[in-house]
Amino acid sequence: MLSRYLDPKNDLAFKRIFGEERHKRLPIAFLNAVFNLSGQNAIVDLEFLSTVQPPEVEARKESIVDVLVRDLAGTKYIIEMQVAKVEGFEKRAQFYAAKTYCAHFNTGKPYGDLKKVIFLAITSYVVFPEKEGFKSDHVILDNKTYENDLKDFSFTFVELPKFTKTINQLESLEDQWYYFLKHAQDDKTIGEILTANPDIKEAYDIVDRIHWSEQDLEVYDRVGMSAADAQGAIIAAKKDGYKEGHEEGIKEGIKEGIKEGQIEIAKNLIAMGLLLSQIKAATGLTEQDIKSIQDADSR
């Protein structure tokens, strides 16, 4: 039976919940819950920043994050939802944080003006199999004294497969958010959360399919298929690579499989008349890639 609610882990749905100005109270509530911020430490307002960080040099890699916000103190928060397991995600987290840390920092400014960056990843797979807990916080510590002298970077990973609490075991607003992300499509269990937390009620309203147009639902489905295709490409490439015994073949197969899936989805979205920004968000392709596809299709 088709669920009334869409999957909030879907890239498009996730960004609609946490990445839009009209729903700004939701990322505020979510971050306050995840990081247990209250009183004077609580986030009271956020500014949405561009999620696309162009490279300083043309040939370098462009970075795109799901949600990027800044609080009144200048601290930047990267919120990343990762559904498909990808190689080197922990490295990518550090890359995104480093790019965000120095973005738009002009020459001549004092280094003291640099602001803290907090990276929050919610994953649909296990990132750290050796850890028992579903949530882990990573900071830079002195190797001998374990003091946190370098305070400007922190990384938090929430591994949803390890979050096994039932609805009757939820103890906090933080638990309720994780339960929502993991079980939103289970229509039988939502009543108690809806009445207990107005912010999560709003999040449920956002992913209620009755509020989505047919075109939006088609994009939602294609984004979901893109994630599934990417995961399938990884599995297939690994199988082929192991058969041939070439590690490089695995890596190239993964890249090629994911790219082909992204291109096919981009073609369909172009045919539907979607905006360039929507196609970028749905596929992860660069603006240059999408324009090249448009040019090729118009010939």
**pLDDT tens figures, 258-289:** 566 677 777 877 776 667 777 877 777 888 88
One-letter amino acid at 97 equals A
- Dihedral sign for Cα atoms in the order 37, 40, 42, 46: negative
Sequence-distant (6+) residues with CB within 8 A of 225 are 265
pTM over 0.85: no
Q: Number of helices (H) and strands (E), helices first, in the chain?
A: 10, 8
For residues 28-40, b (16+ Cβ closer than 10 Å) or e, as one string? bbbbbbbbeeeee
Residue 246 predicted with pLDDT over 50? no
55-100 tens-digit pLDDT: 544 434 445 789 999 999 999 999 999 998 888 899 999 999 999 9
230 — pLDDT class (breaks 50, 70, 90)? low
Q: Which residue has the higher pLDDT, 224 or 5?
A: 5
pLDDT for residue 63? 54
